[in-house]
Structure 1
Amino acid sequence: MKRILTSIMGLCLSHTAVAVEPDTQALFDHQLKRLHADERVDLKTAFAGHPMLVINTASHCGFTPQFEGLESLHQAYKDRGLKVVGFPSNDFMQEAKDEAKIAKVCRYNFGVTFDMFSPIAVRGSDAHPIFREIARQTDKPPRWNFYKYVIDADGRVTAAFSSMTSPDDKELREAIEAVL
């Protein structure tokens, strides 16, 4: 019982990242395929120098309805330079195997227009370098789907929030405002 309560508390808590020098190469020196598309995106061109909200997502998770709130954040802050970026992952065994199904959940069920990429690993030794860098800076790899990381224009993770933090959470919005 104690272990379960500790796990739940870990999921519920949000935390601010420790100031660590960012490895911008680990964050941005990649080309990733857009979700359910042939287009490859050069992350350095698209995102370097911009504040970002990075989320690991899954289309069959109890937190999947957060897509709607994440899209609202995207609409509210895109004109101020915020880039909302979703990275589907099956690390927690809740992502569709087919990109068309993932895209349908994101785009058609929840109206997502922010950047979404093909699935990647977000934890452990197989984690994509982007998420290894986020974990290095925060010492907090995603413990579940829909972890949220606020990254400033210099590539520094300034805040991290658990799955339990909704996109309309005041602290999340304050963290975003702080990097704009």
Structure 2
Amino acid sequence: MRVHLGSDHAGLELKEHLLNWLADHGHEAVDHGPFVYDAVDDYPVFCLRAAEAVAADQQDGVSALGVVVGGSGNGEQMAANKVKGVRSALVWSEETAVLAREHNDANVISVGGRMHTVEDMTRFVEVFLGTEFTGEERHVRRIGMLADYEKTGNLPPLPASALGHGPDQG
């Protein structure tokens, strides 16, 4: 599988580790930077490129996922989620890595390089890459709502159980 990686300075060490780990485990790792340590670099530069590459590969029928890495992973996830067609999940445990794939069909994960050991984060990536989307109807429906909103900007309709109970009801 092709795996696109991007990070910031706080995630550089983990990204470098993952490049080698991925290659050792038969994956094609694509490094979108940074390539040198710069304490004031800007994570969107690298994470947007990694996420765009995942979306482009998947649109072309290439089996690809992505990993973005920062100090906490929060900003990197936000950046990745700005790319059309990307569903990026912040992962902090094996369980969140599994659920990101099984329930959300996440195609990018974000991990915090300052939050966990290299061994733990490598395991999160391994679990993410080895987990398949379940394809259950409820998950497909929810992902479809997100994709429709991404395309049209129109909110999904409220369910009957919510009618008359929210700000959409004037």
Question: Normalized against structure 2, the TM-score is what?
Answer: 0.33
**Of the two structures, which has the highest relative contact order with CA contacts closer than 8 Å and spacing of 6 or more?**
1
Structure whose residues are more often helix by fraction: 2
Larger Rg: 2
Q: Report the TM-score, using the length of structure 1 for normalisation.
A: 0.32
